[in-house]
A and B are shown apart, each in its own frame.
Chain A
Amino acid sequence: MSRRTRWAVLAVGAVFGFLLTASGFGDYETIHRGLLLQDGYIYLTMGSAVGTAFAGIALLRRRGRTASGAPLRLPRQRAERRHVYGGAVFGLGFGVGATCPGITVAMTTTGGLYGLVVLVGLLGGLRLRGWVEQRAARSLSTEPMLPAAQPVVSARRLSDVVPE
């Protein structure tokens, strides 16, 4: 990524942070009333954001290349069970706290200092999920489902080095 692109990405981040905050989403009431279906602001905002992005991406597709000239792939992924499970757990936090990872920043910078508590929890949650995944991967590799040849080979090696 060229230096110019890197700066452009930073500018996008700053504008994004500015807009998230100027939306008033950092106020508990904004999202809470949306989720109570009493106010349409969050849905109109998200809907018009996705709509605008959809149209803009159509133009990008026509160009077919990123700013650095690489082919544009626009990564898409198939839906798996983890998206339902993860989405449900995320929705629980979203519902109770009426906030999300980006909005919590806006909440904190506008004086909602309890946002810092949510951020601590957020980092803990990211870490915890990583730990669970690592643990699952390790326990899988010690399952007796491995090809039968492997334990035999390692046993022979073991007997070579470990004196009886």
Chain B
Amino acid sequence: MCARCEEAPVLGWIDGQLPWWVIGPGVGLCVVALYGLADARLGVSGAWLATIARAEGWQPEPWRRSFLLALVVGSLGAALLGPPVTVHGYGRLSELLPPVLLVPVLLAVGLALGYGARWAGGCTSGHGLSGCAVASPDSLVTTATFFSVAVLVTLALHALTGGAL
């Protein structure tokens, strides 16, 4: 259960967190649809990458950038239908760190996500969902690696901060 659901009464049309058996199969069908439409992996880092393609002097698949725009629109739609949106911090991380430290940490987080995703050729969606669903070896290796590292890093932070994180 997410913390937000417990704090705020649900006033929107949909809960702040729909059950996994709605989200999971729904997302799975999105993956199938994109294979059926474009024979391509549904990947969000690839969509972000397409936004910097021109600056790097190459041409992405024409639908990648509009896919990102559609994703943002869909996300805004869910935000509108969900519990009232309030500007908030970054969970326990912003309780622990003042903004002057939090901003560089989050920049580093983004940097690691972008650098790693491009190095590995995909992220949680491209490898974790789409590639794993066709049992592609690159995706199985990437997904196993990033999940293991993320769990270890999180458990280590939890121990180092005495349970604050």
Tell me whether chain B's interface is mostly helix, strand or loop, or mixed. helix
Among A20, A44, A59, residue most surrounded by chain B Cβ atoms (within 10 Å) = A20
What is the total number of residues of chain B having a CB less than 8 Å from a CB of chain A?
A: 123
Nearest 6 CB-CB pairs, A to B?
A: A121-B110, A125-B114, A28-B91, A86-B120, A91-B149, A52-B28
Given contacts A76-B137, A90-B112, A97-B106, 10 further A-B contacts (CB under 8 A): A8-B37, A10-B66, A22-B14, A27-B3, A45-B20, A48-B20, A48-B28, A83-B120, A89-B116, A111-B88
B→A interface (CB under 8 Å):
1-5, 14-18, 20-42, 44-45, 48-49, 51-52, 55-56, 62-63, 66-79, 81-82, 85-94, 102-103, 105-121, 123-125, 127-155, 157-158, 165
Decide if A87 touches B88 in the complex (CB within 8 Å).
no
Q: Does residue A92 face the partner (Cβ distance < 8 Å to B)?
A: yes
11 chain-A/chain-B pairs, Cβ below 8 angstroms:
A12-B37, A24-B2, A24-B16, A28-B92, A36-B158, A66-B37, A83-B120, A83-B138, A95-B151, A101-B124, A112-B90
Decide if B31 touches A101 in the complex (CB within 8 Å).
no
Decide if A121 touches B37 in the complex (CB within 8 Å).
no
Decide if A24 touches B17 in the complex (CB within 8 Å).
yes
Given contacts A74-B39, A91-B150, A125-B113, contact A12 B72 (CB under 8 A): no
Instruction: Name the segment of A127-135, A138-146, A150-158 touching the other chain.
Output: A127-135
CB distance from B65 to the nearest CB of A (A): 10
Complex Cα distance A67/B122, Å?
Answer: 24
Contact of A48 among B24, B67, B86, B138 (CB under 8 A): B24
Contact of B38 among A5, A48, A53 (CB under 8 A): A5
Among A39, A90, A102, residue most surrounded by chain B Cβ atoms (within 10 Å) = A90
Given contacts A16-B30, A96-B105, A117-B103, contact A35 B128 (CB under 8 A): no
CB distance from A77 to the nearest CB of B (A): 4
A→B interface (CB under 8 Å):
1, 5-6, 8-24, 27-30, 32, 35-37, 39, 41, 44-54, 56-57, 59-60, 63, 66-68, 70, 72-80, 82-106, 109-114, 117-130
Given contacts A75-B136, A89-B119, A114-B102, contact A21 B74 (CB under 8 A): yes
**B151 neighbours in A (Cβ, 8 Å):** 35, 37, 95
**B67 neighbours in A (Cβ, 8 Å):** 9-10, 12-13
Given contacts A17-B75, A128-B111, contact A92 B116 (CB under 8 A): yes
Decide if A9 touches B63 in the complex (CB within 8 Å).
yes
Contact of A49 among B4, B16, B27, B85 (CB under 8 A): B27
